[in-house]
Amino acid sequence: MVHVPSPDSKTTSPRWGSPPTRALPDRRQRSSAVGSPTLARAPCTPKGKPGPGEGLQNMSHAKVVLKRAHRYDEGEIRSSVAEAIAAIGSLRALVRPGAKVFVKVNHLSPPSPPERGIITHPAFTGAVLSVLKEVTPHITVGDDLHPSSPDGFEVSGYRKMCARLGIRLINLREIGFKRVEITGKVLNEVYLAQALLEADVIVNLPKLKTHSLTLLTGAVKNLYGAIPGGLRTAYHGQYKDPTEFNQVLVDIFAAARPHLTIMDGIVAMEGAGPANGVPREVGVILASQDGVAVDAVAARIIGLDPLAVPTIRCAHERGVGRGVMSEIEIVRDQLPHVSPFRLPPLPVGEIVGRAPRFLTRFLTGQLSARPQVVRRSCVGCGACARICPTGAATVAKGKARIDRRTCIRCMCCHEACRFDAIALQRSALGHLLRPFAHRQRRARHRARG
């Protein structure tokens, strides 16, 4: 039996084996709740119909719809979302009348007002919900929030918005998670939110942001929030190699299989995302049945070569979705020019992944950004200590401390801090190589057109 940490546990889960056949979860079949050992082995496709993301290797193109949205006006966004869905296919073809729909938003645990650009804006989500309510009343919105934080749904405006629309809003850990077998690149089983598994349709609403660990957080990374918080922490500690961790993210995304992705790119985030960057107006909504293609187009918009984003590259190479522009059909409004985003400190995978194996450890240590406590901003809340998978972050005399000897640079503390008290520091070598790596990235982007 595999031990799975509770949502708050910091125990590292054992490494998964490699089962011989592919078995993705059927959302209509019960699998085991956390703490219960029964497994669900389900066919890849319920009733013989292809699930979202399946069969992409046999498709010539993915379609991504881009719509303009100048501000967070729910009525304006609703019209744009309805038009985007119509361009993909009819709403009733995507969501049958009366279907159970689960909407996964990007809502970090540290309470955050929407104007900071950290979360999927409640007005954006409200507009999508209004469209979905045309065909079904059975809609649940959720994300996994840490219980020690103040009511994040209240601070963000989600609780008020969902109450106004009569939509069920849940913290995923309060409902529970179920164990399902998969055949991933790294994982052979995963615990997914019960609400997700029980839904007929999964709608993924990511926020367009840079990310200090994965370079970009979007559709693929958003589904990482559909597993228990304790398991997320354990994976950071267990899969320290950047390439391996990004494969874990793709494993989870492929297992969750969202039917529809609609990205909030009206106000995005650049710099030290996903929680401590700077809001950046982009004014765009992206929609597709292929979440990987959404991430690829979003990367292109902000000035990145899509295949420089590890999650996009891994997903594309595995046939989970389309990650190159030549395989994506874009249906667009006239969009404004967006100058390249300011990026987070260079993700170590950008260089380490191309280096000889014997240099990997040295380069990882030299090039990885290191979290550092900004003492004047630290209030000693302990959020960093609670989420740290190795115990490197502690609180002493009212201030956080990070032990460099045991820090694995997973950036969990950086993401969890709501007081901007965790900065990312690069070594001297990292500073020297960062401009070169970024020039190489831009050159690859231009070469791919």
What kind and span of H or E run contains 361?
A: helix 360-367
Structure tokens given for 352? 């380490």
Range of the domain at 216: 32-332
Tally of structural domains, the chain: 2
Residues 367 and 300 in one domain: no
Say how far apart CA 320 and CA 257 lie, in whole Å: 9
How does pLDDT run across 262-280, given as a tens digit for each residue? Answer: 999 999 998 875 777 889 9
Residues 318 and 378 in one domain: no
Residues 306 and 374 in one domain: no
In a domain, 87, yes or no: yes
Say how far apart CA 64 and CA 188 lie, in whole Å: 30
Amino acid at 407: C
Say how far apart CA 448 and CA 441 lie, in whole Å: 11
What kind and span of H or E run contains 236?
A: helix 229-238
How does pLDDT run across 168-177, given as a tens digit for each residue? Answer: 999 998 888 9
Residues 268 and 407 in one domain: no
In a domain, 382, yes or no: yes
What is the three-class DSSP state of 332? Answer: strand
In a domain, 17, yes or no: no
What kind and span of H or E run contains 207?
A: strand 207-211
Residues 324 and 365 in one domain: no
Percent of the chain whose predicted confidence (pLDDT) is above 90 = 50
What CATH number is associated with residue 357?
A: 3.30.70.20
Q: Is the peptide bond before 111 cis (omega within 30 degrees of 0)?
A: no
What CATH number is associated with residue 170?
A: 3.40.50
Say how far apart CA 383 and CA 395 lie, in whole Å: 9
- Of residues 133 and 38, more confidently modeled: 133
In a domain, 179, yes or no: yes
Residues 328 and 353 in one domain: no
| pTM, 2 dp | 0.75
Least confident span in 58-72, 84-98, 257-271: 58-72
Q: Which of 332, 367, 396 is the last residue of a domain?
A: 332
Residue 383's pLDDT band (boundaries 50, 70, 90)? confident
Q: Count how many Cα atoms sit within 13 Å of the Cα of residue 230 in the half-sphere of its side chain.
A: 17
Q: Which of 332, 365, 381 is the last residue of a domain?
A: 332
Residues 84 and 140 in one domain: yes
How does pLDDT run across 402-423, given as a tens digit for each residue? Answer: 998 888 777 778 777 878 888 8
In a domain, 14, yes or no: no
Q: Which of 283, 298, 332 is the last residue of a domain?
A: 332
| Distance linking the first and last C-alpha atoms of the chain | 49
Least confident span in 129-143, 194-208, 267-281: 267-281
Residue 64 has pLDDT above 80, yes or no: yes
Residues 327 and 360 in one domain: no
Residue 348's pLDDT band (boundaries 50, 70, 90)? low
At residue 434, the pLDDT reads: 60
